[in-house]
């Protein structure tokens, strides 16, 4: 009986997806169509609604879910309360930030993410700024031209281009 119980515990541990494995699976799905769209933009020379329409037709997605995010978003939102954030690696955090940034239809999770990132990295950390930028641009708190592609690796340079005051943006976002 003891051996059976030990084998069962071992089986359960092996079959359970870790947070890190989960984030890896989420980000691979998240980036798959986005990378293809990025190639289409590069080939076309610029973003356009016509390009989006062609992409949607080609990949059998929809205009309100261009990158087929909705099922991944639901899976993420269901699992997120169980994350052991204290065990996240830097790589896990990077994936998590990108994924949460893409949860535009779930701004409540993005706002929760701002708080999580503040707790983990500090107020106005580079990690938090990326999410603040996304929320701020979606809410038109930052005026960005349509089709403009932001370089998240150079978030401070981007902020300077658009006269972003991080303290002011933070205050406006946390009041949403």
> Beta-carbon neighbour count of residue 54 at 10 Å?
13
Q: At what angle do helices 70-79 and 19-44 cross, to 10 degrees?
A: 150
The answer for residues whose C-beta is within 8 angstroms of residue 102's C-beta and 6 or more apart is 30, 67, 69
Read off the pLDDT of residues 156-174 as tens digits, 9 standing for 90 and up: 999 999 999 999 999 999 9
Read off the pLDDT of residues 36-66 as tens digits, 9 standing for 90 and up: 999 999 899 888 899 999 999 999 999 999 9
Flag whether pLDDT at 154 surpasses 70: yes
pLDDT of residue 14: 53
pLDDT band at 11 (very low <50, low <70, confident <90, very high): low
pLDDT of residue 149: 81
Measuring CA to CA, how many Å separate 62 from each of 46, 52, 120, 121?
A: 21, 10, 36, 36
The pLDDT of 58-78, averaged and rounded, is: 94
The pLDDT of 131-155, averaged and rounded, is: 90
The pLDDT of 107-127, averaged and rounded, is: 96
Flag whether pLDDT at 150 surpasses 90: no
pTM for the structure as a whole: 0.84
Q: Is the dihedral of CA 123, 125, 127, 129 positive or negative?
A: positive
């Amino acid at each position: 009986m003891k051996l059976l119980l030990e084998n069962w515990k071992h089986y359960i541990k092996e079959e359970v997806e870790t947070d890190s494995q989960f984030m890896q699976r989420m980000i691979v799905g998240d980036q798959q169509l986005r990378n293809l769209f990025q190639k289409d933009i590069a080939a076309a020379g610029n973003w356009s609604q016509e390009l989006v329409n062609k992409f949607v037709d080609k990949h059998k997605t929809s205009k309100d879910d261009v990158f087929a995010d909705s099922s991944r978003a639901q899976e993420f939102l269901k699992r997120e309360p169980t994350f052991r954030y204290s065990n996240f690696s830097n790589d896990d955090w990077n994936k998590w930030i990108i994924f949460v940034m893409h949860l535009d239809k779930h701004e409540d999770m993005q706002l929760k993410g701002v708080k999580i990132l503040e707790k983990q990295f500090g107020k106005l950390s580079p990690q938090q700024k990326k999410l603040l930028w996304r929320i701020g641009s979606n809410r038109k708190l930052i005026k960005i031209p349509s089709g403009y592609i932001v370089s998240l690796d150079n978030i401070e340079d981007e902020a300077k281009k658009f006269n972003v005051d991080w303290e002011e943006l933070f205050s406006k976002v946390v009041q949403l």
